[in-house]
A and B are shown apart, each in its own frame.
Chain A
Amino acid sequence: MISQIFSLAFLAQTIRITVPYSLASLGGVYSERGGVVNIALEGIILNGAFCATVGTYYTGSALFGVACGIAGGLLTALIHAVVSIHIKADQIISGIAINLFAVGITKFILEILFQSSSNSPRIAGLPHIHLGFIESQPDVANLLGNPLVIVTILIVIASQFIIFKTRFGLRLRSVGENPEAAETVGIGVTLYRYYGVLISGALAGLAGAWLAFDQHSFTDGMSAGRGYIALAAMIVGKWNPLGAAAACLLFGFAESLQIQLQGGGLPTQFIQMIPYVATIIVLAGFIGKAVAPGADGIPYEKEN
């Protein structure tokens, strides 16, 4: 039984779930390290998925589709950036508005383009690299050979360096912790906050593209709360790229365990609780107090 559960297929399932969580969660890290709360991740994922689908459908190029997904994410994040950085509106409200807007706009355009309010036509998946092993299980091989899996891993590692070891990261963190101090040493607070939010848009857009290719189509509301889970993972990971990715992996593991255990005789209600119980145990038991960046969510007001 145990070996049945923890098989290669199980590993593949875990990775499938973890990749979009991680990308969006890293996006959250960039945005919030710069001081902007980004609950718009949910809507950005959805728009990213939609743009990736449309781009791929009309050009037949998955690569172009990925670029469209990122672009869709960037544009959506730009709205959030303008509203919360320039107009200094409440960031939570801006995020909620974007999330609601994304549900509406994707459905609307879906209807216009494909005469369906629930899903798009099928698109091709991403090309994958032949790994030369585990050919007996093509599904698993395809997944592990998916270039986006490798890209995600690289982005996680690179982000840890970018946030903590580079000039950009140091400035981004200073802007999120104490923007007044950053300004007095000549750092453009607005500029770095834009960087943070836009990077989060690109990453969450990429997460959306993953979802679209994974399901080979766009379906209405397909982000299904992943943006919020990503935010939770970011907090569990204490706003660190590696920590956030590890938390996403844990969520991915718990979710695939839940899928695996269904139909195994245990009451489904219990099984469905697994991811949430796991979250609570991790939060309460293993992670110390998570402290948000000092100026997270607070617009920077310059007196003049």
Chain B
Amino acid sequence: MPYAIELLSITKRFARTIANDNVTLRVESGSIHALVGENGAGKTTLMETLYGLYQPDSGRIRIQEKNVSIKSPHDSIRLGIGMVHQHFMLVPPLTVLENIVLGSETTRYSLLDLKKTTTEIAELAGRFSLSVPLDEKVENIGVGIQQRVEILKAIYRKADILVLDEPTAVLTPQESIQLFRILSELKEEGKTIVLITHKLNEVMEISDRVSVMRKGKIVGEVETAKTNPQELAQMMVGRPVLLRVEKAEKKAGDPVLTVNDLTYVDRRGISLLKNVSLEVGSGEILGIAGVEGNGQSQLVECIAGLIRPSAGFITLDGIKISGLGPREVFARGLAHVPEDRIKRGLVVEMDVKENLILGLHNQPQFSSRLSMNRKSINDNAKLLITRYDIRPMDPDAHARGLSGGNQQKVIIARELSRNAQVIVASQPTRGVDIGGIEFIHRTLVEARDAGKAVLLVSADLNEILSLSDRIAVMYDGKIVKLFPDSKVEESELGLYMTGSKGNSQEKALGI
């Protein structure tokens, strides 16, 4: 098989770090090649170099067995390279059609010839089962559809090589399955695909070969059929990793957090929560599974005191907390790991030590009436950084500069250090790499073993299945199913998550 892509001895330095260190990667034509590695391993930089967004400091690139020079995306597009970036490169107020043609427009008398283009794109969309609403504005369509727009964009530019950066990070399980079907079809058509990911089950499922990157270097390349997730994880992290969470039988106690007939109607009058009832006991993890946008966020925000329920109430340790503000709720023993760590979990402009006392800043140990107590803030930071293995080990590091996994560790360290009775963790490992996930999972299980009540909300089914003692499925603002243990098939959960099964209200009670 000839090579579609050859990246030879590529080195790329940024101001202080070396992102790609003498990397050589060859991808066979017509294959699906997975590129795996932890966050910050240099996968994205390598592919953005291929796409012409960065210029390598040294090294050569060959495409379809020819030496090429790629100075900008303009060159890479001409060479038949398309890239679907992790953060979609779409212009929200423009229509789907305008986004697809942007930069490669067909014109007639210098006016855009959208009619001719529409037929062309409709034909392509039909051939690869990539149906998209061409006249809708991108800001009005969901992320799954936006991704199809990105793929169509690349195909419309006649890309033979398609690079996808973490394509399933934003997709539901069903959408991921669809995406993989599309990728297989593209491969059938002879296209070469590079898939950047850190989800090993995806690698096993779809790729032909896999290259592993760690700290800017390629540390291994294997045929997918001749490896397994355990081996890949070890290559990625550089040490043996536990992919499965080990946990003891639960010793659940009395309900600590109860949610009773909770209803939430938003400003537009839409009911986002419909009579939700649940209990979380001490020493157990209740997992809430569901496709995002089915009321999980509102449930968590009601519990954390960020929004007020329209009806129903919430108690913590028998005392009603609904209607209280976040500070009072926290004071009564609730820890909250919010789903959006940048928006709600951290103040990224501040440093790590300051982020580690957010919400605790008015406690006497950290602040006197006049000023903050720098020494105890610093000591607190040093202690937590060591205990939670936060990198870099520097209390003065800016939160913005940390990797996603380490940002998340800062939040978890802060929330768990308060010794709260109830922990509400929303998407705790989203965008976190394997090493970080292992650590965060272990920490949550330890908290449960120490008798805390943990409410886990996650769109990641693996996470729900491996951590939860009981599982509730949310769909359309309701709890449609409660499983009393975690012995359930992923596909079964999927049916409830998409509303194909069970549409009546259940109560997640009875520990």
A171 near B93: Cβ-Cβ < 8 Å: no
A80 interface residue (CB < 8 Å to B): no
A185 near B103: Cβ-Cβ < 8 Å: yes
B73 near A170: Cβ-Cβ < 8 Å: no
A183 near B105: Cβ-Cβ < 8 Å: no
Give a binary string over A166-202; 1 marks a CB under 8 Å from any B CB, 0 the rest: 1100110110011011111111000000000000000
B107's contact among A166, A177, A178, by CB below 8 Å, is which? A166
- Cα of A185 to Cα of B93 in the assembled complex, Å: 17
- Cα of A183 to Cα of B55 in the assembled complex, Å: 14
A304 interface residue (CB < 8 Å to B): yes
Interface residues on B, range: 20 to 34
B54 near A185: Cβ-Cβ < 8 Å: no
Prevailing SS type, chain B contact patch: loop
> Which residues of B from 146 to 186 have beta carbons under 8 Å from A?
153, 157
Given known pairs A186-B103, A304-B54, the reply for A170 and B112 (CB within 8 Å) is yes
> Which residues of B from 92 to 110 have beta carbons under 8 Å from A?
92-94, 98, 101-105, 107, 110
A184's contact among B83, B105, B110, by CB below 8 Å, is which? B83
- Cα of A105 to Cα of B63 in the assembled complex, Å: 56
B89's contact among A165, A167, A180, A291, by CB below 8 Å, is which? A180
> Which residues of B from 78 to 137 have beta carbons under 8 Å from A?
83, 85, 88-94, 98, 101-105, 107, 110-112
B91's contact among A173, A291, A303, by CB below 8 Å, is which? A173
B72 interface residue (CB < 8 Å to A): yes
A294 interface residue (CB < 8 Å to B): yes
- Cα of A173 to Cα of B93 in the assembled complex, Å: 9
A6 interface residue (CB < 8 Å to B): no
- Cα of A124 to Cα of B104 in the assembled complex, Å: 49
B85 near A167: Cβ-Cβ < 8 Å: no
- Cα of A177 to Cα of B139 in the assembled complex, Å: 12
A161 interface residue (CB < 8 Å to B): yes
Chain A residue with the shortest CB-CB distance to B110? A166
- Cα of A174 to Cα of B95 in the assembled complex, Å: 11
A170 near B54: Cβ-Cβ < 8 Å: no
Chain A residue contacts of B73, Cβ below 8 A: 183-186
Given known pairs A174-B102, A181-B89, A184-B51, the reply for A167 and B94 (CB within 8 Å) is no
Given known pairs A294-B93, A304-B54, A304-B55, the reply for A182 and B102 (CB within 8 Å) is yes
B74 interface residue (CB < 8 Å to A): yes
B112 near A166: Cβ-Cβ < 8 Å: yes
List chain A positions with a Cβ less than 8 A from chain B.
Answer: 161, 165-167, 170-171, 173-174, 177-178, 180-187, 291, 293-294, 303-304
Q: List 17 A-B contacts (CB under 8 A).
A: A161-B111, A166-B111, A166-B112, A167-B107, A170-B101, A170-B102, A173-B93, A174-B94, A174-B103, A178-B92, A184-B73, A185-B89, A185-B102, A186-B72, A186-B103, A303-B14, A304-B54
List chain B positions with a Cβ less than 8 A from chain A.
Answer: 14, 51, 53-55, 72-74, 77, 83, 85, 88-94, 98, 101-105, 107, 110-112, 153, 157
Given pairs A173-B94, A182-B102, A185-B77, 9 additional interface contacts (CB within 8 A): A167-B105, A174-B102, A178-B90, A183-B72, A183-B73, A184-B85, A186-B77, A294-B91, A294-B93
